[in-house]
């Protein structure tokens, strides 16, 4: 119950924070969430070669702001788009606390030491600092999936570190 309240509070804070900085030139969270991002796939190596046979996810930043009451920490929110059958490479989020909320579709996720879990639109999860994310995928072959992801991390820290290919 307490975890659900915390997760709901983080989601509300992310949506409000993103909405409070919206200007005529900056789309709202709802507008960004309804669009397909055009950024470079997150699971490509520097040469531009995909690292798996699945399509990869793309990321659209929403807001990044230092937390005024928590020295050295930054709040970051982004939309992560998974086309049908997309899969992220295994990764970590360093020392960041991560909250993920499914805006659309279905996402399968697995952290090291835990079973694979399936999340549907409206469901959410958290990842503790240092967690190893072994699986993040859209299991649908026909429908996309979208996540709102919120990070609370050390200011300047890299938010996603992909595993090295074996």
pLDDT under 70 in the chain at which residues?
A: 1-52
The pLDDT score that the predictor gives to residue 165 is: 79
The pLDDT score that the predictor gives to residue 9 is: 52
Q: Which helix (H) or strand (E) holds 14?
A: helix 2-20
The pLDDT score that the predictor gives to residue 149 is: 98
Arithmetic mean of pLDDT over the chain: 80
The pLDDT score that the predictor gives to residue 50 is: 45
Tally of domains within the chain: 1
85 CB-near residues (< 8 Å, 6+ apart): 54, 55, 137, 138, 139, 140, 141
Structural domain that includes position 144: 2-162
Q: Tokens standing for 46?
A: 């520097």
The pLDDT score that the predictor gives to residue 32 is: 41
The pLDDT score that the predictor gives to residue 10 is: 53
The pLDDT score that the predictor gives to residue 128 is: 96
**Separation CA 132–CA 150 (nearest Å):** 17
CATH code of the domain covering residue 118: 2.60.120.10
């Amino acid at each position: 119950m307490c975890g659900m309240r915390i997760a709901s509070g983080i989601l509300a804070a992310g949506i409000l924070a993103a909405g409070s900085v919206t200007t005529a030139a900056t789309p709202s969270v709802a507008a960004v969430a309804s669009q397909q991002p055009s950024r470079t796939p997150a699971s490509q190596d520097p040469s531009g070669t995909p690292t798996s046979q699945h399509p990869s996810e793309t990321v659209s930043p929403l807001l990044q702001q230092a937390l005024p009451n928590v020295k050295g920490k930054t709040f970051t929110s982004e939309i992560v788009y998974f086309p049908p059958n997309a899969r992220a490479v295994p990764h970590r989020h360093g020392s960041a606390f991560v909250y993920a909320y499914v805006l659309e579709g279905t996402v399968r996720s697995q952290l090291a030491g835990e079973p694979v879990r399936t999340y549907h639109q409206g469901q959410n999860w958290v990842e503790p600092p240092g967690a190893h994310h072994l699986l993040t995928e859209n299991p649908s072959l026909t429908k996309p999936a979208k996540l709102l992801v919120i990070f609370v991390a050390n200011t300047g820290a890299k938010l996603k570190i992909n595993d090295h290919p074996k």
